[in-house]
Structure 1
Amino acid sequence: MANDKQGIERGAAALDKIIKGKFTREQQEHIDRGKGIHQAPKSRLKLTRASDIVRMVITWLWWGKIALGKITLIAGDPGLGKSTVTVSLAAHVSTGLPWPDGTPCPHGDVIFISAEDDAADTICPRMDAAGADSSRIHIVGGVESLNRSGDPETRLLSLRRDIEAVREAILALPECRLIIVDPISAYLDGSDSHNNAEVRALMAPLSELAASIGAALIFVTHLNKGTGGSALQRATGSMAFVAAARAAFLVAADKSDPARRLFIPLKNNLGPDGNGMAYRIEVVNGVSRVAWEKESISISADEALGRDDDAGGHETTLAGDAADWLSDVLSAGAVSSNDVKKHAKEAGYSWATIRRAQAALGVKPQRVGGAAGDGAWVWTLPDEHKNPQMTLKEAGD
């Protein structure tokens, strides 16, 4: 019996050696053919015929500005009323009242996520002051879950971990039109806001979420402290935030009127390069609200932040050149503001640079020729003593 057992073991060992030797030779031959031991499945491009793609049109929450099913970014320095602006946006959606520029506003529910303001003493009073329908405003107070001990707890929302909870909350509101996150930096849950890869990994499912539910998703962020680069590059954190947003707006102070605020497009991938809006912060019974101006504004974001695209770090020299140029233009007498703007553009100066040159020279615009449809604004040098009367033809209006 012992000999039989030993024989069986020797036979099995010999067979195993033969099999291994054969497998090793086959492996080597496979490698010699350049295929490697483990060949990964061949990758293929996923192709779809354009003719098979169902066409869809962009639908708007605020026409030309904020699209449904897309991400929009609002950026600005602290203290300029970004949060009060978001309350105003929420109020319009909750009531369905037209937007400040007169365009229609879809009526629906709003999910409001804010880490910087208290709901009881700040958000809700501001909603009331803005005329919101509070029954259509849903304020997120955190995420309810069970801790390791099995006890219920409420924690801060994480856009990375809790996206399905957000989806469920939105689906529970069939008429949800708007979700506001203020600021987005408070809900990153450890993700590095300056790391493009991490931000893209975070934003991709959020973009998909917005598209799948057909609601507008607005993120609020601050501007960084830098003065170089464009206004778009000053949005805090990774440029992946701006890249994921289909539209972005800057909230800035009006340098010529400290009480006036500007809501200016930074980018708009879906709509026309429209003009911005202006507003003021009103305080009613101790509560702030936005009072929008009805007329649009044409100033750019770079101009609002005092940056010239052609400055290149030579702002002082550029301002001096612009002042010399403006002095030459006005040296022969009064010139209409429209002509000043036209000639400045032809000379390569931004309007913001010309306005600074205007202030440096002490140029005071004056109205000539009568009322709105019959008159014109003209610019004259302060040392010009003759009456700046001119015909409308001369004024260029």
Structure 2
Amino acid sequence: MVDLTNVWKPPVDANGHIDWTKVDETLPPRDPELGFHLNWKEKVEWEQARVKLMEQNARAEEAKTKRERMRRGLPADASDAPRELVFRSLGGVQMHAIEWLWTGWIPKGYITLMAGETGAGKSTILGDVTSRVTTGAPWPGEYDCPNAWRKPERVLWLGSEDSIEEMTVPRLTACGANLANVVEIQGVMQEGKRNTFSMQDDLEAVSKGLAEARDMGNPFAMLVIDPVTSYLPGQKLRRVDLNDAGQLRTVLEPWLILAQTYNIAIICVTHFAKDTNRSMLHRVLGSSAFVQTCRSLCAVMEQLRTEEEEPDPHAKVFMQVKMNLPEHPGGAWKFHTERVEVGVDHRNGKPIYATRPAWDELDAGLTPNSTVGKSRGPKSQFEGVFAMWFQGFYAIYPNHDWLPISTVKQVALQEKVVSASWWDKHSADHMQKENIKGTWMCRPKVSPA
């Protein structure tokens, strides 16, 4: 039981009610510094709780400020001290030439962005590039003579989309790469556990590895990050908004400094957005920061389509999209992919196949402006002609609200207004269709007022 012997009790009158006139006279003496607290122990505990709450609020506000800084593309720990401009005269600056791994395509000391539609052949091109780096073989278009061969160099490989055993190694083998010169980054170890690689958190570890390789006299010439979007998240930015240029610059720009420090070519692989009518520069998935950070932007895509025929599905184009390079290659490479057997699975004896590129020609007529969208340009010359012809053909039959689609098609092909291929793809854009008693009928679409 609680001992209440020494607890102060208010005075009462003859009826047992508190006598408020005598309360002040009977109250024990009290330290005025206690305020509303009963005793010093309670006051100390209350002060400690108040300080703890203030510290928590301060940390929360600091975290909020850091998140806002990172959202704006600023360092999280940036100082609020006054900033001063730093100047230098260009009179004493020594000019430097760009050092190219593959002239006009992949520069050293910079980031190259390799973009393309899914299945276009990005990985196949990357396998061929890696092969030529690791063996010193001549680049496409160079004469295959002893003087054209270079010193073999090493490649650092970071990839998540393809299985190394089933896709990457067979593809590199098909291209003739020296696999001993390719080193894979499998991930990172943290407190004894395997963790996912992060471009935010593991830059220092990569820098250390590149420095050690350089100091041992066996440096890396190229770093592959495929795809770059898989490795953007980290401790600072758990989720990177691909449409936020500030966030992307925060992640990408330190890697540009790394490329310049170790004179290494960094190739970041990404995809094109699905909007095929946008320019090449604006089809790269994510923010314009991708395009602005890279020195070279290479696109891989299907070869040109015509109205009359579909191209060989294995026929591709490799194009330099950035047209302001002084060493621009002057065209785009046409190539086709070929499937070859590269070995036998030791587990079950099944043959292993992979693709490699066969380079055809450098076509000066292929430019980013002529290769927009899957149809690679306007729908065709038939577009306006058919629209006018259909309106006139429909006017010949003023007593008919609908015309059979089969009749319209037959006449349009006989008069060579359009091709059969164009009809199948685009005729529906110009006509309103309806099934009337089992027969598909049509009439010109009415333009909106």
- Check whether TM > 0.5: yes
SS in 1 for 2:94: coil
Could you tell me which residue of structure 2 aligns to residue 252 of structure 1?
301
Corresponding position: 1:66 with 2:111: no
| Pairs within 5 Å for 1:102-181 | 102=142, 107-146=152-191, 152-174=192-214, 175-181=219-225
Q: What per-residue deviation string (whole Å, max 9, x for no partner) do you get for residues 274-294 of structure 1? A: 211121111111221122224
Give me the whole-angstrom Cα distance separating, in 1, the residues matched to 2:184 and 2:291. Answer: 25
SS in 2 for 1:157: coil
Query: Is 174-183 or 238-247 further displaced after alignment?
Result: 174-183
Look up the equivalent residue of 2:251 and give its one-letter code: L
SS in 1 for 2:213: coil
- Which of 262, 266, 288 aligns to 1:217? It is 266
Give me the whole-angstrom Cα distance separating, in 2, the residues matched to 1:265 and 1:108. Answer: 24
Corresponding position: 1:272 with 2:272: no
SS in 2 for 1:172: helix
| Pairs within 5 Å for 1:1-397 | 43-102=83-142, 107-146=152-191, 152-174=192-214, 175-189=219-233, 190-256=239-305, 257-258=311-312, 259-273=314-328, 274-285=330-341, 286-306=353-373, 315=378, 320=383
Give me the whole-angstrom Cα distance separating, in 1, the residues matched to 2:256 and 2:278. Answer: 26
| Pair 233,63 (structure 1): closer, same or farther in 2 beyond 3 Å | same
Contact 1:110 1:177 in 2 (8 A): yes
Larger Rg: 2
Give me the whole-angstrom Cα distance separating, in 2, the residues matched to 1:63 and 1:122. Answer: 28
Look up the equivalent residue of 2:340 and give its one-letter code: V
Give me the whole-angstrom Cα distance separating, in 2, the residues matched to 1:170 and 1:224. Answer: 33
Q: What per-residue deviation string (whole Å, max 9, x for no partner) do you get for residues 158-213 of structure 1? A: 00111111112222332211111111011011222221110011111011111111
- Where does structure 1 lack aligned partners over 5 or more consecutive residues? 1-39, 147-151, 325-357, 363-397
Look up the equivalent residue of 1:122 and give its one-letter code: M
SS in 2 for 1:116: coil
Give me the whole-angstrom Cα distance separating, in 1, the residues matched to 2:417 and 2:159. Answer: 40
Residue 106 of structure 1: how far off its partner (Å): 5.8
Residue 75 of structure 1: how far off its partner (Å): 0.7
Could you tell me which residue of structure 2 aligns to residue 366 of structure 1?
none
Look up the equivalent residue of 1:116 and give its one-letter code: E
SS in 2 for 1:280: strand
Look up the equivalent residue of 2:337 and give its one-letter code: I
| Pair 268,219 (structure 1): closer, same or farther in 2 beyond 3 Å | farther
Could you tell me which residue of structure 1 aligns to residue 9 of structure 2?
none
SS in 2 for 1:57: coil
Give me the whole-angstrom Cα distance separating, in 2, the residues matched to 1:193 and 1:45. Answer: 31
Contact 2:244 2:287 in 1 (8 A): yes
Give me the whole-angstrom Cα distance separating, in 2, the residues matched to 1:305 and 1:74. Answer: 17
Contact 1:246 1:268 in 2 (8 A): no
Residue 361 of structure 1: how far off its partner (Å): 6.6
CA RMSD of aligned residues (A): 2.8
Residue 264 of structure 1: how far off its partner (Å): 0.9
Give me the whole-angstrom Cα distance separating, in 2, the residues matched to 1:233 and 1:72. Answer: 16
| Pair 123,153 (structure 1): closer, same or farther in 2 beyond 3 Å | same
Give me the whole-angstrom Cα distance separating, in 2, the residues matched to 1:121 and 1:316. Answer: 39
Give me the whole-angstrom Cα distance separating, in 2, the residues matched to 1:298 and 1:173. Answer: 42
Q: What per-residue deviation string (whole Å, max 9, x for no partner) do you get for residues 203-247 of structure 1? A: 110111111110111111001112343121010011100110111
Q: What per-residue deviation string (whole Å, max 9, x for no partner) do you get for residues 246-289 of structure 1? A: 11011110134232000011115443342111211111112211
Give me the whole-angstrom Cα distance separating, in 2, the residues matched to 1:251 and 1:214. Answer: 25
Residue 74 of structure 1: how far off its partner (Å): 0.8
Give me the whole-angstrom Cα distance separating, in 1, the residues matched to 2:246 and 2:111. Answer: 18
Look up the equivalent residue of 2:320 and give its one-letter code: P
Give me the whole-angstrom Cα distance separating, in 2, the residues matched to 1:359 and 1:155. Answer: 62
Could you tell me which residue of structure 1 aligns to residue 446 of structure 2?
none
SS in 2 for 1:186: helix
Residue 308 of structure 1: how far off its partner (Å): 10
Give me the whole-angstrom Cα distance separating, in 2, the residues matched to 1:245 and 1:173. Answer: 25
Give me the whole-angstrom Cα distance separating, in 1, the residues matched to 2:152 and 2:258. Answer: 20
Q: What per-residue deviation string (whole Å, max 9, x for no partner) do you get for residues 120-172 of structure 1? A: 222112111111111111111111221xxxxx111221001111111122223
| Pair 128,41 (structure 1): closer, same or farther in 2 beyond 3 Å | closer
| Pair 44,296 (structure 1): closer, same or farther in 2 beyond 3 Å | same
SS in 1 for 2:339: strand
Query: Is 76-85 or 253-262 further displaced after alignment?
Result: 253-262
State the identity as a percent.
Answer: 27
Look up the equivalent residue of 1:182 and give its one-letter code: D
Contact 2:277 2:372 in 1 (8 A): no
SS in 2 for 1:263: strand
Give me the whole-angstrom Cα distance separating, in 1, the residues matched to 2:151 and 2:364. Answer: 24
Give me the whole-angstrom Cα distance separating, in 2, the residues matched to 1:359 and 1:165. Answer: 64
| Pair 80,57 (structure 1): closer, same or farther in 2 beyond 3 Å | same
Look up the equivalent residue of 2:135 and give its one-letter code: T
Q: How many residue pairs end up in the alignment?
A: 281
- Where does structure 2 lack aligned partners over 5 or more consecutive residues? 1-79, 234-238, 306-310, 342-352, 388-415, 421-449
Look up the equivalent residue of 1:304 and give its one-letter code: T
| Pair 138,42 (structure 1): closer, same or farther in 2 beyond 3 Å | closer
| Pair 251,322 (structure 1): closer, same or farther in 2 beyond 3 Å | farther
Could you tell me which residue of structure 1 aligns to residue 407 of structure 2?
none
Contact 1:106 1:177 in 2 (8 A): no
